[in-house]
Amino acid sequence: MTRKGRRLTLIASALGTLGAALGLVLYAMRDNIVFFYGPSELAEKAPAPGARLRIGGLVKQGSVTRGAEKSITFIITDTKKDVAVSYSGQLPDLFREGQGVVTEGILTAPGQFRADTVLAKHDETYMPRDVADALKKQGVWNEGAPKPAGVTK
């Protein structure tokens, strides 16, 4: 192979690999990205039912109802808007009323969410960052300030 041919092969394979990587990234970005909304944002943006989302906020006091076979319903709130969540399965260690929570699942109808994942937290003082931001956006909580009513500890 000539020197020029070799050089071309090298450049072509580099571009080919990069192109493949770029193509895959763009393709994967279409379907495999999950948006995060707080309850107010959800009401405002009103995504079509069937969308895969993450919803985060506080578990509303007195809203947790346990059904048969590990099914559970609860309300996620940012104190302004609520989302009703149904879930079936094991809950993380620190799932409690009044605590921050992030869930991932499918929006079944406006304000109705079927979660397939409830995300675990690592620490009792830790507020999931997304939740903290969503609450701050609604002006109901500021870092350092006492947590809003309904937030234990």
Partner 1 sequence: MIGEFTGHIIEAGHYALVLALALAAAQATAPLWGVRRGDAALMGIAAPAALMQFAMIALSFAALTYAHLASDFSLANVVENSHSAKPLIYKISGVWGNHEGSMLLWVLILVVFGALVAAFSRAMPDDLRAATLAVQGWISGAFILFILLTSNPFARVFPAPIEGRDLNPILQDIGLAIHPPLLYFGYVGFSISYSFAAGALICGRIDAAWARFVRPWTLLAWMFLTLGIAMGSYWAYYTLGWGGFWFWDPVENASLMPWLAGTALLHSATVMEKRGALKVWTIFLAILAFSLSLLGTFLVRSGVLTSVHSFASDPQRGVFILAILVFFIGGSLALFAWRAPQLKPGGIFAPVSREGSLVLNNLLLTASCATVFVGTLYPLALEALTGEKISVGAPFFNLTFGPIFLPILILMPVAQMLAWKRGDLLGAAQRLTLAAAAGFVTALGLGAIHGGPVLSIVGVMIAAYLIVGSFVEIAGRIFARGVSASVALARALGLPRSAWGAAFAHAGMGVTLFGLAATGWGIEEVLAIRAGDNVKAGPYEVRFLDVETKPGPNFRATVARASVTSGGREIAVIEPARRYFPTRQMSTTEAGIVTIGLGQLYVSLSGENADGSLDGRIYWKPWVSLIWIGALFMAFGGLLSLSDRRLRIGVAKRARAPAAVQPAE
Q: Residue numbers of the site for partner 1 (CB under 8 A)?
A: 1, 3, 6-7, 9-10, 13-14, 17-18, 20-21, 24-25, 27-29, 31-37, 54, 70, 89-94, 104, 120, 122-124, 126, 128-130, 133, 153
Q: What is the nearest approach in angstroms of partner 1 to the Cβ of residue 14? A: 6
Q: What is the nearest approach in angstroms of partner 1 to the Cβ of residue 126? A: 7
Q: What is the nearest approach in angstroms of partner 1 to the Cβ of residue 17? A: 4
Contacts of 103 (CB under 8 A, 6+ apart): 54, 55, 56, 76, 85, 87, 113, 115, 117, 118, 119
Between CA 38 and CA 44 the distance in angstroms is: 10
Q: What is the nearest approach in angstroms of partner 1 to the Cβ of residue 33? A: 5
Cβ distance to partner 1 smaller for residue 24 or 46: 24
Cβ distance to partner 1 smaller for residue 14 or 46: 14
Cβ distance to partner 1 smaller for residue 149 or 153: 153
User: What pairs with residue 88 in β-bridges?
Assistant: 71
Between CA 3 and CA 92 the distance in angstroms is: 61
Three-state DSSP state, 102? strand
Q: Rounded to whole angstroms, what are the CA distances from 73 to 114, 120, 139?
A: 9, 17, 26
